[in-house]
Amino acid sequence: MDRITLITNPSAGYELIDSGGEEKLERFSEVVLARPDPQALWEKKLATSDWGLANGKYEREGKDGKWVGKLPKEWQVEFGGLKFLIKPTSFKHTGLFPEQLSNWQWGSELIKRQLALSEVERGREISVLNIFGYTGGATLASAQAGASVTHVDASKTAVAWARENAKLSGLEGKPIRWITEDALTFLKREIKRGVKYDAIVMDPPAFGHGPGGEVWKFEENFLELLKLVEQVLSEKPLFVLINGYAAGYSPLAFAYNLESFVKKFGGSIEYGDLNIAESSSDRILPCGIFARWKA
């Protein structure tokens, strides 16, 4: 297993301008936002006046919070060759996770490489399953690369948002199945149906609810999830990717759970941290963890 660091650099669509004081200052296209980030345990580089120029600032209010300032309700961003609708939410998310760009590119390259093989190998379709798919970054990247994709999320709002992103990116005609269902329930049904996938992406949250009232708790359900995932993999799978934002876990916790795929299919494992580089300094902001297996 190899430990690596993935870093997203500033681009026209997105830029991490500054961070510090448990906050981050970001630009999504032309709109600048300031929002909390507990990982930014250092001093800000820019002056308070620079931070004051943000179009919107997220402020805590009870369990959730609110955005203050003059910012649009929603707007478009072009990022990583795709288009996303940014909608600042009451729980501080915007719908775009820029730190995932390297993973999208990694999966896309593996899909393209498989599709570029000989005519004999290319005869089979590349099918990708994105579990806890949220606003669809991995779904769009996989579809753009030429795969058929099944996008699963328990939230109707998230699935509708992902479909909007697909339309904005010109991918509404691609073979994408949009499923609103509890992840474990969906996987169990796919196993009964005998459905198989060549690649699986998952972003399990710390806690969540399914549309039927199902309760997801990472510490209780993660191992079950991995066992079900293994059962829906095809005979010649391409990759499995796990992303995580649940506080307190090491990427090794993910990587060790991918060892069974190496034993069964061969291949290799990479794991590490997801980061975003600041444009105003040489610092990188930690944003999450990942582990990925490829054949």
Q: Which of 247, 246, 151, 252 is nearest to 205 (CA)?
A: 246
Measured torsion, CA atoms of residues 37, 43, 46, 48, in degrees rounded to the nearest 10: 80
Same domain, yes or no: 125 and 234: yes
Residue 118: the pLDDT is 54
Is the Cβ–Cβ distance between 21 and 287 less than 8 Å? no
Same domain, yes or no: 215 and 272: yes
DSSP for 193-246, written as a single string: HT--BSEEEE---SEEE-TTS-EEEHHHHHHHHHHHHHHTB-SS--EEEEEE--
Q: What is the pTM of this model?
A: 0.95
- Read off the pLDDT of residues 103-131 as tens digits, 9 standing for 90 and up: 999 999 999 999 988 555 555 689 999 99
Same domain, yes or no: 58 and 111: no
Is residue 93 domain-resident?
no
Residue 214: the pLDDT is 84
Q: Residue 270 maps to which CATH number?
A: 3.40.50.150
Q: What is the mean pLDDT of residues 212-233?
A: 91
Is residue 92 domain-resident?
no
- 137-145 vs 156-168: helix crossing angle, rounded to 10: 40
Residue 247: the pLDDT is 66
Q: Is the dihedral of CA 102, 107, 112, 113 positive or negative?
A: positive
Is residue 27 domain-resident?
yes
Among residues 58, 86, 114, the one where a domain terminates is: 86
Q: What is the mean pLDDT of the chain?
A: 94
pLDDT at 181 exceeding the cut of 70: yes
- Read off the pLDDT of residues 6-65 as tens digits, 9 standing for 90 and up: 999 999 999 999 999 999 999 999 999 999 999 999 999 999 999 999 999 999 877 779
Q: How far apart are CA 46 and CA 185, in angstroms?
A: 48
**What does the radius of gyration of the chain's CA atoms come to, in whole angstroms?**
19
Q: Which of 69, 72, 74, 73 is nearest to 55 (CA)?
A: 69
Residue 177: the pLDDT is 98
Number of structural domains found in the chain: 2
Is residue 28 domain-resident?
yes
Residue 117: the pLDDT is 83
Is the Cβ–Cβ distance between 55 and 70 less than 8 Å? yes
Same domain, yes or no: 110 and 80: no
Structure tokens at 237: 């799978």
Same domain, yes or no: 122 and 48: no
CA 10 to chain centre: 18
Same domain, yes or no: 211 and 108: yes
Is residue 94 domain-resident?
no
Domain that holds residue 165: 99-294
Is residue 249 domain-resident?
yes
Above pLDDT 70, what percent of the chain? Answer: 97
